[in-house]
Each structure stands twice: as C-alpha cells, then as structure tokens.
Structure 1
C-alpha cells in the first residue's frame, strides 16, 4: 500500500524546468544581459553547486567577473524568491497530505531551496526534504532516496516518486519505488492527476 508521495521540485512544483534556468533567466532580465551569456557563465559551476562542493557565495565573484559585471549578491536571493510555483501542483500536494506522507527530493542548491520554502511558507508541507547539495547525492544515486526512506521510516514499495526527467526515475525504480513521469512541456494537470490516482490505487 502506498503511504508517501515524493515530489521533485523544478519542473514539477515549479513552472521552469530547472533551477539554473530560473536563476539565469532572472539575472539576465534584471541586468539586461544576454540570457545565453549568463547561462554559460553559471553552468561552469552548476554541478559543483548541486553536489554541495561549492556555494553560491564562493562562486559569485568569479561568476560576476566572467560576466564583466559587478552584481549585488541580493540579486541571486531575489531570483530564488521570484521562482514561479505551480499552483495546481501545490493544491494537489496539500490534498494528498491529508492521506499520505509527503517528501521533496531535488537536485538543487541548499540556499535556493531553503529560501523558496521559507518565503512561500512551504516548510510544513513536507515530512522530509532531501536536497542534493546537502547530501552530496543526486537522483542518479540511491543515497538521496535512502535518506528520504529513512526519514519517513518507509519501504521503497510504499512510495511513489514524481519527476519531470526520465533519467531520474531509473534509480528509484530499481529500488522498488513506484515512479511517475510528469510532462513539463504539456503540463496537462488533469491528465497527470488521473495518472497519479491510478498509480496510488495499484
């Protein structure tokens, strides 16, 4: 029997597919810089940021230098706060919470996730939050899922995991977690809701 629903963050609970895209688009727009230039400069550090090997504070001077701009660090925090959330998904999550335990499993930067959860009053929605930068493990590694299962005190077969990237479903499927791919292009919420209901009922 399913007892918990695990959600990815970007592309599922947010409109933008990835956190790095949300950050770089915001900075480019606010500063009048070419979006591709900002994306390329940020991408150099993205993997290290996702695994907690570096922090935004550490890479910020070099990032600004690569852009040829001296940018206020507050701009980064503002980009976190400006993240567009999917209202339908959050409504569904709240509904599910009445019957299931809820967890967040995300390849993400710690400062970004913690800021977004706090400024949107979302902390209380999750029974467990697993962030790759805090654990040194992304979703292509089972450690992040083991962490969530331990926090929830559940077995893999008691959980459903939702993600918008097929590559992130491979490991949890191998572990015995039921998985569901969300189409972040179509964002067909009624269709997704029907698929989730079927997955929970199986």
Structure 2
C-alpha cells in the first residue's frame, strides 16, 4: 500500500489557508473600526488585551464585550461583532481542492481561534457541508504549540496521526503534528502555490 492510499484525513488551518486573510483578529478589528467609525488603533488596543484568553477559551466575546465597549468609548450592539466574524474572503481554489477531496478523505479543520467566530462562519457558509471535524483551540483549551489540540483531532476523526495530513500557513505550527506522525504541508499564504496540495500527501501526485 503506498502513502497516498494510506492517507485518510486532510486537516486544514483556517486563517491564511482557507481564507485569503492571514489572521482572524485583524478582520474583526478592521470591520468594527470601519462600521463604528473608531480609529483602528483604539479598537486594536481594546481587542488584543483579550485575545489570548479568547483563543484558549477562558472567555468568550460576550464575556469581554462590555469591557471592550467601555475601552473604545462607544456602546456597540453585539450583532456588529457577529457581522465582523463574517468579514473573511474564502480562497475559492482551496475550497475547490477540498470539494474535490471530500468524497475520498475525511476533511477536518484545526485552528487557533475563537469558538464563536469559527462556529458562526462554518454554520453560515458552504464550510458546514465540507468539514467533517472542526477542532478549535478555544473549545479544547489548547493551541497548535501543544499536542492536545491534535490529539483531539485524532480522537474525533478516529484516525491515527500517520493517516493524516495537516496544512498550515505558519511553519512553526507544523512542528508538533510532524513529531506526532502527521504528514505536514506548509502553505505559503503570500505565493498561494497550490502545487504542493496536489503533489504532496493526499494530493493527486
């Protein structure tokens, strides 16, 4: 049995891989800044102080919203934040690749992210039908610098690390899964070269 037949699951990072934008927080911040007419530096300072707690799932956006509004000096409807979650641009070529593979592989997402943001995006877009497993750092209280988030992906998928490919746009995020036995692919979010997706593990080559 060759390596391609051995691979059963393809796991993708979200921001910078599935989306054109490299990171999620700036998409939220820029939307709120524009819609509320507040200087972006003010929104950044008010938002980023909560970022680590949000990513680890220690708090949700609802938990920090009152303080955030106080810090920016304006009371905003929480629905503005939910709209800000949707301020993303999908990479259509990447989605085509995922659609092409969906019938042959389990498709998963492993992302350092806020649970409410990812759930809002997934449940209101085509991603809902494309992803079999979605692992979010805030849900499992672990980020990609730790084993736990990848162990949870294996648990929920029922697969072994050696049966999985993980694709990320940050090389340091590939270290832990590689050590665990995942096949890893670095996706350069500047060049957006899709050839590795088709010639690497789980690809067409």
* SS of residue paired to 2:167: strand
Structure 2, unaligned runs of 5 or more: 1-5
| Equivalent position to 2:12, from 7, 15, 23 | 7
Summarize the Cα distance change of 1:185–1:36 in structure 2 as closer, same or farther, 3 Å threshold: farther
| Equivalent position to 1:140, from 134, 141, 145 | 145
Mapped to 2, the partners of 1:33 and 1:72 lie a distance apart of 14
Deviation sequence 1:1-21 (CA, Å, 0-9, x none): 211110000111111111111
Mapped to 2, the partners of 1:7 and 1:110 lie a distance apart of 16
Mapped to 2, the partners of 1:38 and 1:92 lie a distance apart of 35
4+ runs deviating over 3 angstroms: none
* SS of residue paired to 1:138: coil
Deviation sequence 1:108-166 (CA, Å, 0-9, x none): 11111111011113222112110111110111111111111112211111111011111
For the pair 1:198 / 2:199, whether they are aligned, the reply is yes
Q: Which residue of 1 aligns with 2:119?
A: 114
Q: Which residue of 1 aligns with 2:184?
A: 179
Q: Which residue of 2 aligns with 1:51?
A: 56
Q: Which residue of 2 aligns with 1:21?
A: 26
| Equivalent position to 1:71, from 65, 68, 76 | 76
Q: Which residue of 1 aligns with 2:95?
A: 90
| Matched residue count | 198
TM-score (norm 2): 0.92
Per-residue deviation, 1:30: 1.1
Mapped to 1, the partners of 2:87 and 2:199 lie a distance apart of 34
Alignment RMSD, CA only? Answer: 1.4
* SS of residue paired to 2:129: helix
Mapped to 1, the partners of 2:92 and 2:74 lie a distance apart of 35
Alignment of 1:158-177 (within 5 A): 158-177=163-182
Mapped to 1, the partners of 2:42 and 2:94 lie a distance apart of 32
TM-score (norm 1): 0.93
Alignment of 1:31-50 (within 5 A): 31-50=36-55
